[in-house]
Amino acid sequence: MNHSVARLLLLTLFLLRPAIGQFNLAGGGGDSSAKVSASIVSEVKAAAPGQPFRVAVKLVHEEHWHTYGKELPPEVVGKPTRLKWTLPEGWTVEELPWPATREVESTDGKKSQGYDGTVYLPAKIIPGGKAGDVAEIAVKVDALACNPENCMPVKPEAKLSITLADKAVIDPAMAEVFGKTASAAPESSAPPADKATVKPVERSFAGYLLFAFIGGLILNIMPCVFPVLGIKIMSVVQQAGEDKKQVLLHGLAYTLGILLCFWALGGLVIALGKTWGFQLQSPGFVYGLCVFFLVFGLNMAGLFEIGVSAVGVGANLQSKHGLGGSFFSGLLATVVATPCSAPFLGSALGYTVTLPAAEAMLMFTMIGLGLASPFLVLSLAPNLIAALPRPGAWMESFKQGMSFLLFGTVAFLAWVLTGMIEGQPMLFLLFSLVIIALGCWIYGRWALPHKPARTRYLAVLLMLGCFIGGLTLGWPNVGQSAASDGSHVEGGLTWDAWSPEKVAELRAAKKPVYIDFTAKWCFTCQVNKRVYKDAALQKLIADKKITLLKADWTNEDPRITKALSDLGKAAVPVNVLYLPGQSEPVVLPELLSVENVSAAMGQIKE
């Protein structure tokens, strides 16, 4: 995929720009102080009213980190650096040409254009006021900081007090800084680069779009999503003998449902500064999914039938209902797909939160298309549909068998709730599911068309009573949490609870620290835990005296959200290893193996 294709894809969101143009990425970035610091320097010790003078924003980048210039060349993927000035009333500012960018090391060891080391970004100030005033000027930097592995938004701020006098007083200490031409190269330990020989970046924006699509495709095999895909396969089997145009409409409705849900969730992530999968951090939302999948599973198992009384309704109405079902399935697939950061998707999501709103929404669109692609391809290929088995009596057994996938999802979501709800409230929650299942059984046993009207009405009332009573009994109290601040043993290893203070303390003591950012609702996180049961890896951890910390993000925790943002991540799983004496952690792949964890830990010197 080249730049022309990427630009073409951007046009798909052109009509959405009015709707999303007000969104911004506030809250999406981390604290900038560790990566890029800012200060203001002035060429004068004292300024005179009405007489222009120069200032410069001094950016100091941590080693291996860089930011971008005021404008980006077409081949460079990044975010232009912006300065927002706050001046006293009557003062004005004019930007001056910035220093030339240089070749810097970007993601995956490739090259880009930007600023590293120390750089001065000049501006001209025209002061107001009168002699004797002491004024304060401030600036807020909005930039994207990147190293060879990660990118993150940074927003350092700086202030400078200026005294006004009858005559400006030059500061000789700043003569060297302001004596440079506007095109002078920034200070850096690296030699100047010939701009004409710079090679393009490229993990490129198009590359991240591809990663987003592949990540969305992989989401189909996640345990919460796979049952939904199974249901759609069931619907394709039912439609195998129907008009191919109708099957295509189902595929398009399913895709539209996925895309609309991704756009809505993406908009919330951008506008509210939330993180991907934030809805699964709500006990009420998880409980609602639990109830939904339980009722849906009981329906597929044959305990009751929805819409039995609707038999005989015209085919046209049934067709519309079917398309609505496909659309709803797309919405549902997206809602339950978001908590996990599948391989390829983690880096794409981390990159997405640094983008302007329109580009970020395009990334979410590509994830949605990846998720929708299996069913969409099936509906677009008449030959594949023709090869499917014809509808028959076997379909009832197939439908009932598919219900166990939904029951498995209920079990997984109930286990997720054990990380949010503890003690007796969790017991009541489980009992509430039993009561709701009883209501479904009553409805399926007595609310049948051939039963007397009184019996059917009574059955409906009892069913509603069971649902209302069950929901009242089981609805989780958000204030109750099973989170623990102590240590625990898991997989034969002792894990301490993560905190920023604990990390700082261990790193100050020059101890190796391994952090597992995880959540119960993240299936990939649970798959990764198999690695820690390996005896050789456990011995390596003991020999290297590595402290293990678990950052449990099952419930919303602003500290963990910030820590992930500082790492350039927007979703879990994230696993990092801090080596003694090194400022930046080793960030492991989303999908762990004994080999890649051992290789990272093998870097620790005795």
Question: What is the rounded CA–CA span in Å between residue 412 and residue 428?
Answer: 17
Confidence of residue 537 (pLDDT cuts 50, 70, 90): very high
Task: Say if 128 falls within a structural domain.
Answer: yes
Same domain, 327 and 278: yes
Q: Are residues 210 and 173 in the same domain?
A: no
Please indicate, yes or no, whether residues 317 and 388 belong to a single structural domain of this protein: yes
Per-residue pLDDT, 243: 66
Domain extent for 315: 205-282+305-395
Spatial distance between the Cα atoms of 388 and 348, rounded to a whole number of angstroms:
35
pLDDT at 342: 52
Q: Which residues lie below 8 Å from residue 418, measured CB to CB, with a gap of 6+?
A: 426, 482, 520
**pLDDT grade for 311, boundaries at 50, 70 and 90:** very low
* Maximum separation of any 2 CA atoms in the chain, in Å: 100
Strand partners, 38: 59
* pLDDT tens per residue, range 428-476: 899 999 999 999 999 999 988 888 989 999 999 999 999 999 999 988 8
Residue linked to tokens 């198999």: 530
Lowest mean pLDDT among 251-255, 264-268, 335-339: 335-339
Per-residue confidence (pLDDT) for residue 182, from 0 to 100: 39
Residues 6+ apart with CB under 8 A from 512: 544, 545, 546, 547, 577, 578, 579, 580, 601, 604
Q: What is the CATH number of the domain that holds 161?
A: 2.60.40.10
Total domains in the fold of the chain: 3
Question: Measured between alpha carbons, how far is 539 from 557 in angstroms, rounded to an integer?
Answer: 32
In a domain, 247, yes or no: yes
pLDDT band at residue 55 using 50, 70 and 90 as cut-offs: very high
Contact 165, 48 (CB under 8 A): yes
Report if residue 419 sits inside a domain: no
The CA distances from residue 244 to 253, 376, 378, 568, 593, in Å, are: 14, 13, 11, 45, 44
Same domain, 217 and 361: yes
Q: Same domain, yes or no, for 99 and 211?
A: no
CB 599 within 8 A of CB 540: no
Strand partners, 184: none
**Helix, strand, or coil (residue 552):** strand
Q: Indicate whether 218 and 168 sit together in one domain.
A: no
Residue 100 has pLDDT above 70, yes or no: yes
E strands present in 300-368? none
Tokens of 175: 């003569």
Query: Average of pLDDT values for 509-517?
Result: 94
**Residue 67 is assigned to a structural domain of this protein:** yes
**Is residue 122 within a helix (H) or strand (E), and if so which, with residue range?**
strand 118-126
Structure confidence at residue 354 (pLDDT): 58
Average pLDDT on 119-125 reads 91
Is 447 part of any domain? no
Looking at 197, 227, 261, the residue that finishes a domain is: 197
Degrees, nearest 5: CA angle 302-308-310: 150
Same domain, 378 and 500: no
Q: What is the end-to-end Cα distance of the chain in Å, rounded?
A: 46
pLDDT higher at 472 or 250: 472
Q: Does residue 208 carry a pLDDT above 80?
A: no
Domain closes at, from 175, 197, 219: 197
Residues 109 and 219 in one domain: no
Give the position of tokens 């604290």: 31
Lowest mean pLDDT segment, chosen from 30-34, 532-536, 579-583:
30-34
Residue 82 lies in a domain: yes
C-alpha gyration radius of the chain: 29
Higher pLDDT, 279 or 309: 279
Residue with more model confidence, 218 or 270: 218
Confidence check: pLDDT of 180 > 90? no
Rounded CA-CA distance 223/523 in Å is 7
**99 and 144 together in one domain:** yes
Per-residue confidence band for 285, with pLDDT thresholds at 50, 70 and 90 = confident
Note the pLDDT of residue 42: 92
> 74 exposed, middle or buried (CB, 10 Å; 0-12, 13-18, 19+)?
exposed
Question: What pLDDT does residue 482 have?
Answer: 42
Strand stretches in 508-571, DSSP E: 513-518, 547-552
Give the count of alpha carbons within 13 A of 591, CB side only: 6
Statement: residue 532 has pLDDT above 70: yes
Q: In the predicted model, is pLDDT for residue 238 greater than 70?
A: no
Whether residue 260 has pLDDT greater than 50: yes
330 touches 261 (CB < 8 A): yes
DSSP letter for 332, please: H
What whole-number distance in Å separates Cα of residue 268 and Cα of residue 106? Answer: 29
**Residue 430 maps to a domain:** no
Q: What is the pLDDT of residue 479?
A: 47
- Lowest-confidence pick of 304-308, 316-320, 586-590: 316-320
Query: Which residue type does 223 have?
Result: P
Q: 3-state DSSP helix/strand/coil percent for the chain, to nearest 5? A: 50, 15, 35
- pLDDT of 75 above 70: no
Instruction: Write out the two tokens for 187.
Output: 């200070």
Please check whether residues 71 and 188 belong to one and the same domain: yes
Residue where a domain stops, chosen among 333, 360, 395 = 395
Q: 227 or 558, which is more confident?
A: 558
pLDDT at 598 over 90: yes
* Residue 1 three-state SS: coil
Highest averaged pLDDT of the listed ranges 13-22, 361-370, 476-485? 361-370
State the CATH number of the domain containing residue 559. 3.40.30.10
CA 287, 565, 279: angle at the middle one, nearest 5? 15
d(CA 519, CA 503): 19
* Tokens of residue 515, six digits: 């952090």
Mean pLDDT of the chain: 76
Average pLDDT for residues 533-560, to the nearest whole number?
90
Q: Which of 251-265, 310-324, 352-366 tops mean pLDDT?
A: 251-265
Closest CA to 182 of 268, 258, 122, 114: 122
Q: What is the DSSP letter of 504?
A: H
Is there a single domain that holds both residue 92 and residue 170?
yes
Residue 248 lies in a domain: yes
Q: Does residue 480 surpass a pLDDT of 60?
A: no
Q: Please tell me which residue, 67 or 75, carries the higher pLDDT value.
A: 67
pLDDT confidence of 385, banded at 50, 70, 90?
Answer: low
Give, in degrees to the nearest 5, the angle at Cα 221 between 216 and 222. Answer: 85
- Alpha helices by DSSP H, listed for 381-522, are 382-386, 394-417, 424-446, 453-474, 500-508
- Round to whole Å and give the CA distance between 436 and 475: 12
Task: Answer yes or no: do 247 and 317 share one domain.
Answer: yes
